[in-house]
């Protein structure tokens, strides 16, 4: 798959307001992956936790946003492994 293939498949999407914090955080850390010999294995949680710490969230919001990142990580890994 090339960038042109990816670009051709792009369609506008609507982000629900409750998902905007997770999307913005993903934009900051979405390139921070841990790799193994077989490819990407997981997000690097050190930069993720650093960004979460900087946001000054209470415990409940911190945990909820971290959980959202784990869902996005799992979906990204599934997409990368099926390409």
Question: pLDDT tens for residues 22-52?
Answer: 999 999 999 999 999 988 999 999 999 999 9
Sequence ranges of the domains in the chain: 13-82
- Distance (Å, rounded) from C-alpha 32 to C-alpha 47? 7
Is 59's pLDDT higher than 60?
yes
| pLDDT number for residue 1 | 55
| pLDDT number for residue 4 | 72
Residue 39 vs residues 28, 29, 34, 70, 83: alpha-carbon distances, Å: 21, 18, 9, 18, 12
| pLDDT number for residue 13 | 82
């Amino acid at each position: 798959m090339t960038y042109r293939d990816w670009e051709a498949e792009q369609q506008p999407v609507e982000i629900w307001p409750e998902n905007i914090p997770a999307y913005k955080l993903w934009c900051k850390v979405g390139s921070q992956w841990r790799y193994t010999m077989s490819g990407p294995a997981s997000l690097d949680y050190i930069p993720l936790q650093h960004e979460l710490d900087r946001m000054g969230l209470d415990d409940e919001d911190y945990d909820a946003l971290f959980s959202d990142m784990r869902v996005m990580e799992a979906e990204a890994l599934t997409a990368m492994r099926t390409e």
